A and B are shown apart, each in its own frame.
Chain A
Amino acid sequence: MEDQKHILIIQLTRIGDLIQTVQACRQIKAENPEVVLSLLAREKFASGIIFLLETVFDHIYLFETKDFFAQGNFKGATESVGRFMQKVNHIKYDLSVNFSFSKSSSYLHSLINARHKMGLYRNRRSEVCINDKWSQYVYSNVLNNTDVPFSLVDIYRYMLGCKETYALNPDENYYGRDNNIVLHPFASQRKKKWGLNRWNELIYKIAKDEPDYQFHIVGSPEDKAEGERLLSSPALSSIKNRITLHAGSSSIADCYQLLMNAKLFIGHDSMVSHLASETLTPSIVVSLGTVRPHETSPYSNMVVNLSPKNQCFPCKVSDQCDLLPCHTSINHQVVTTIASAVLHGHELTTDYLKTNLTPFHLNTVKIMKSSYDDTGLYFDELSENHSNINDVFKAYYKIIWLYYLRGSETSTQLPDISTETASKLNHYVSGINYLFELYNFGVNYSNKIIEAAEGKDNDFKAVQSYIDKLAEIDQLCAVTKKTFPLLKGLIDFFYVNKANALGDNLIDISKHNVLNYYDASNLVAVMSEFIEKSITPHINANNRGTEV
């Protein structure tokens, strides 16, 4: 018992994030069965999936804001927090990990009694602290709307130090399931939601093609009215007896049971899609608006993800968009074709898609099929032979971050690119070279700070001038980020890494910064090599530097 390690996971965000937390923690538990895992979460998000949480966590601590304020005053609420934390801190944890990255979670994490902390917390000066590099990656990339190449579940696994990629065993009884299709046509934001008329067309077509299937529309009580509007469509009147609206009348546990007995799930990137990955139900996920498919797609090798090829996708929550152009990029015929392949056991390949869909359909939608490799979940793009520049950089970043943050070398090939993409990549050569120089200046000036601070003369003026130079480097990096936006991931990471420099005096912090700038320049050099290798086949030797 004394040798047992105690790990506390803090996950204060929504149900979908909790399911992804379960999936990551299941893996650390599988590798380390003796670990005692505890969860700290919000009751309103955790209570609906307690049946899932209990399969992984040994202890579950739930709270709700209104319960803290039961006495009706702030002093009473503070005392209530104190009592709650006494319960949570009944032991000293070996490790506490904050997967939430919210302001409230950062303060809560500070109250946890743990030997080591990962993820966001605050020190006694209320300053944000992020000590581990994977958490710095989340803070600088994931939270900063950079389109990352990793699933959130994999990021959680990497933070926890999982070595293997474990997956749930396939359902041997899949073909014994009833002919049910579960649909979730709802989403929390308008931008993420494919219009009702498109869902209408989809349901009508699948119902016509698959006369033996029943349809189940799931959602929350808030979705009930919209569900009724969908069902009231004249186009669906002839098949109304085959559609059941569960929105508002069943719990998450009921939805889970429904998915366990379904042959297909079709919906948006949402909690229900994550639940479908737990029930091993093949899924078609429509990703729109602000969704970043690689990051938030359900963690399963039975997912086909559809996303628009619009330049503006994915957008940010703050971006104004009235016309929702990305919604029209996904035609219902693409979804029905894929649905047919899944239900009839056809292998989904690029050739299959090209045979069954027109170029008109395929030109506007990215179709990705999920799978596992030794790094975790990855997606094969089936709709395109060549990668665009965003996907090329995603591939570069995946190799770089797995090497730098996890120490693992992947066998990921550099993507095939078109001449047009090579031309866009060529533009980044000057940005990468400039960044390399900036980081090398960073190494030099950090070394000069150390020399000046350690010197007999204690030349404060010189030290200050070198510190000013480092500030200038930060500014120039910020400008580089604007001109070369796909370098943002690298620049932001090392900015956050530098901001969390270890050490409590100028010399120690500067020594950390030397290593920081050195690592940064090395990664930039690697990226430069990748770009070079990618564009070289497209270069006309006579026209280098002018056109590719």
Chain B
Amino acid sequence: MSIQEEIHKAMAEIQKNLNNGESLSDEEISNLFLTALIEEEA
């Protein structure tokens, strides 16, 4: 799986958890941090 695909999968999982009213874990916040970094650098 490419990094891009991993990111899409992680973001989908996070959105699903948020929709279910769950709180984000540190790992999920780290995922969001990394994704935002990549977006900003692009």
Contact = CB atoms under 8 A, between A and B. Distances in A.
Contact of B6 (A74, A107, A125): A74
Interface string A533-547: 000000000000000
A428 interface: no
Nearest to B39: A103
Max count, chain B CB within 10 A of own CB: residue among A68, A104, A122: A104
Contacts of A103: 36, 39-40
A65 B41 contact: yes
A102 B29 contact: no
Interface string B1-40: 1010011001000100010000110110111111011111
Interface string A75-91: 10110011001000000
Nearest to A77: B34
Contact of A111 (B6, B10, B33): B33
B6 A104 contact: no
Given A73-B6, A77-B34, A122 B39 contact: no
Give chain A's interface secondary structure class.
helix
B23 A74 contact: no
A4 interface: no
B30 to A, nearest CB: 4
A283 B29 CA distance: 43
A74 B24 contact: no
Nearest to B1: A73
Max count, chain A CB within 10 A of own CB: residue among B18, B26, B29, B36: B29
B30 A78 contact: yes
Given A73-B3, A75-B6, A104 B33 contact: yes
A108 interface: yes
Given A74-B7, A126-B24, A111 B31 contact: no
Interface in A499-534: none
Given A75-B6, A103-B40, A68 B34 contact: yes
A387 interface: no
Contacts of B37: 65, 68, 104
Given A73-B3, A125-B23, A126-B24, A107 B10 contact: no
Assign chain A's interface to a size class: 20 to 34
Given A65-B41, A124-B23, A126-B24, A74 B33 contact: no
Contacts, number: 66
Contacts of A125: 18, 23-24
Given A73-B6, A74-B10, A74-B34, A111 B29 contact: yes
Interface in A67-124: 68-69, 72-75, 77-78, 81-82, 85, 102-104, 106-108, 110-111, 122, 124
Nearest to A42: B37
A66 to B, nearest CB: 9
B38 A65 contact: yes
A107 B27 contact: no
A82 B30 contact: yes
A142 B25 CA distance: 31
Contact of B30 (A69, A81, A126): A81
Nearest to A121: B29
A124 B14 CA distance: 11
B42 to A, nearest CB: 11
Contacts of B26: 82, 85, 111
B41 to A, nearest CB: 6
A126 B18 contact: yes
Contacts of B1: 73
29 contacts: A65-B37, A65-B41, A69-B3, A74-B3, A74-B6, A74-B10, A77-B34, A78-B27, A78-B30, A78-B31, A81-B30, A81-B34, A82-B26, A102-B40, A103-B40, A104-B40, A106-B36, A107-B29, A107-B32, A107-B33, A110-B29, A111-B29, A111-B30, A122-B32, A124-B24, A125-B24, A126-B14, A126-B18, A126-B24
Given A104-B37, A110-B29, A126-B29, 16 more contacts: A65-B34, A65-B38, A74-B3, A81-B33, A82-B27, A82-B30, A85-B26, A85-B30, A102-B36, A103-B39, A104-B36, A104-B39, A107-B36, A111-B33, A122-B29, A124-B24
Q: Which 10 A-B pairs have the closest CB atoms?
A: A74-B6, A124-B23, A107-B33, A104-B36, A103-B36, A81-B30, A104-B37, A107-B32, A78-B30, A65-B37
